[in-house]
C-alpha cells in the first residue's frame, strides 16, 4: 500500500511517500512494523497520540483495520484556516 | 464552491462575484484569513496540504454546512505553498435569507477548516522554521456544533 507522510512526520521520516509491503491488520500494527524498521520511523512515531491517520483520504482511528485500504497517510493535527 | 490553490487571490473581487451570484439572498457573511506576523520576525509561511484529501474534506465540510443551515451558497478558498506576511491565506463566504444562518454557517466552516481540513502551516522566521501546533481550543470549538 501507499504510505504518505505530511508536515513534521514527513520531515522526520525523510520522504513524502513510499510503497510498503505489509500484512498488518490495523494501523497500530503498521506503525509497529514501521517503528521496528529504522530509527527515523521510531522518532516519527514515538508518540502516536500526537498523530492523525487517514485511510484512503478519510480520517480514521489507529485501531482501524487496513483490509482493502490502498492509501494510508500519517500527519500531525491539522492547522488550516 | 471550493477552491484550493497556490495563487494569490483578490478577496474583495471574490466576495463581489459571490454576492452577485447569490443576489437576492439577503445576507452575505465573509471571513478572510491573513498571514499575521505574531513575533515581528516572520518572513513568511509555508502551507502544506494533502492533495486529493483536501478537496474532498472541504467539499464534505461545505456540504455539511449547506445541510445544517438554509444557505443559498457557500464559498471556501484556501491557499497552499509559500505565503508572505500580510497575504490572504483563505476566505469563506456564506449567503442566506437569514443573517443568523449566514453567520453561524461561516463560523462552522471556519471551525471545521481549522482542524478537519488537511493543511499544515510552517512559520518561517529569521531564526528558522517551525510547524504551527494545533490548539486544544480549535478541537473544542467543534463540540458546539
Is residue B128 within a helix (H) or strand (E), and if so which, with residue range?
Answer: strand B128-131
In terms of CA atoms, which chain A residue is nearest residue B135?
Answer: A79
Which of B3, B32, B48, B136 is most worth mutating to test chain A (most A CB atoms within 10 A of its CB)? B48
**Interface residue B3 vs chain A (CB under 8 A):** no
Domain that holds residue B11: 2-143
**What pLDDT, on the 0 to 100 scale, is given for residue B140?**
86
* CATH number for the domain that contains residue A27: 3.10.20.30
- Asked whether residue A45 is assigned to any structural domain, the reply reads yes
Q: How confident is the model at residue B127 (pLDDT cuts 50, 70, 90)?
A: confident
Q: What is the DSSP string of A1-70?
A: -EEEE-HHHHHHHSSSEEE-----SBHHHHHHHHHHH-HHHHHHTS-GGG-EEEETTEEE-TT-B-TT--
Domain that holds residue A7: 2-75
Residue A35, φ and ψ in degrees, nearest 5:
-60, -30
In terms of CA atoms, which chain A residue is nearest residue B60?
Answer: A58
- Asked whether residue A55 is assigned to any structural domain, the reply reads yes
Beta bridge partners of B91: B32, B77
Task: Give the CA dihedral B114, B64, A64, B121, nearest 10 degrees.
Answer: -20
Q: What are the residues whose beta carbons fall under 8 Å from the beta carbon of A33, sequence distance 6 or more? A: A22, A24
Q: Which of A10, A54, A78 sits opposite B134 (nearest CB)?
A: A78
Which of A56, A74, A78 is most worth mutating to test chain B (most B CB atoms within 10 A of its CB)? A78
**Interface residue A50 vs chain B (CB under 8 A):** no
**What pLDDT, on the 0 to 100 scale, is given for residue B141?**
87
**What pLDDT, on the 0 to 100 scale, is given for residue B40?**
74
| B41: pLDDT strictly greater than 90 | no
Q: How confident is the model at residue B39 (pLDDT cuts 50, 70, 90)?
A: low
- Asked whether residue A23 is assigned to any structural domain, the reply reads yes
**Interface residue B115 vs chain A (CB under 8 A):** yes
- Asked whether residue A64 is assigned to any structural domain, the reply reads yes
**What pLDDT, on the 0 to 100 scale, is given for residue B38?**
67
Cβ atoms within 10 Å of B98's Cβ, excluding its own:
15
- Asked whether residue A81 is assigned to any structural domain, the reply reads no
Over residues B20-28, mean pLDDT:
94
| CB of B15 closer than 8 Å to CB of B1 | no
Q: What is the DSSP string of B26-72?
A: SEEEEEEEE---SSS-EEEEEEEE-TTHHHHHHHHHHHHHHHHS--S
Between these two residues, B40 and B108, which has the higher pLDDT value? B108
- Asked whether residue A80 is assigned to any structural domain, the reply reads no
**Interface residue B120 vs chain A (CB under 8 A):** yes
**Interface residue A79 vs chain B (CB under 8 A):** yes
DSSP code at position B113:
H
In terms of CA atoms, which chain B residue is nearest residue A78?
Answer: B115
Q: What are the residues whose beta carbons fall under 8 Å from the beta carbon of B12, sequence distance 6 or more? A: none
For A70, the grid coordinates are: 490502498
The structural domain count of chain B equals: 1
* CATH number for the domain that contains residue B48: 3.90.1170.40
Inter-chain CB pairs, A–B, below 8 Å: 69
The structural domain count of chain A equals: 1
Residue B53 to chain A, least CA–CA distance (Å): 5
- Asked whether residue A40 is assigned to any structural domain, the reply reads yes
- Asked whether residue A24 is assigned to any structural domain, the reply reads yes
**Interface residue A54 vs chain B (CB under 8 A):** yes
In terms of CA atoms, which chain B residue is nearest residue A11?
Answer: B131
Amino acid at each position: 500500500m501507499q504510505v504518505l507522510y505530511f508536515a513534521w512526520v514527513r520531515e522526520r521520516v525523510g520522504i513524502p511517500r513510499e510503497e510498503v509491503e505489509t500484512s498488518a491488520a490495523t494501523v497500530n500494527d503498521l506503525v509497529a512494523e514501521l517503528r521496528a524498521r529504522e530509527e527515523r520511523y521510531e522518532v516519527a512515531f514515538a508518540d502516536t497520540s500526537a498523530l492523525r491517520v487517514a485511510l484512503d483520504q478519510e480520517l480514521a482511528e489507529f485501531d482501524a483495520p487496513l483490509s482493502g485500504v490502498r492509501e494510508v497517510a500519517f500527519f500531525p493535527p491539522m492547522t488550516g484556516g | 464552491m471550493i477552491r484550493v490553490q497556490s495563487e494569490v487571490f483578490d478577496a474583495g473581487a471574490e466576495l463581489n462575484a459571490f454576492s452577485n451570484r447569490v443576489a437576492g439572498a439577503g445576507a452575505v457573511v465573509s471571513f478572510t484569513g491573513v498571514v499575521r506576523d505574531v513575533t515581528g520576525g516572520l518572513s513568511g509561511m509555508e502551507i502544506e496540504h494533502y492533495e486529493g484529501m483536501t478537496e474532498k474534506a472541504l467539499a464534505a465540510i461545505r456540504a455539511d454546512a449547506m445541510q445544517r443551515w438554509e444557505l443559498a451558497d457557500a464559498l471556501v478558498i484556501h491557499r497552499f505553498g509559500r505565503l508572505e506576511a500580510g497575504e490572504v491565506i483563505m476566505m469563506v463566504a456564506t449567503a442566506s435569507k437569514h443573517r443568523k444562518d449566514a453567520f453561524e454557517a461561516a463560523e462552522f466552516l471556519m471551525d471545521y477548516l481549522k482542524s478537519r481540513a488537511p493543511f499544515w502551516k510552517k512559520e518561517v522566521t529569521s531564526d528558522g522554521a517551525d510547524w504551527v501546533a494545533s490548539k486544544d481550543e480549535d478541537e473544542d470549538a467543534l463540540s458546539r456544533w
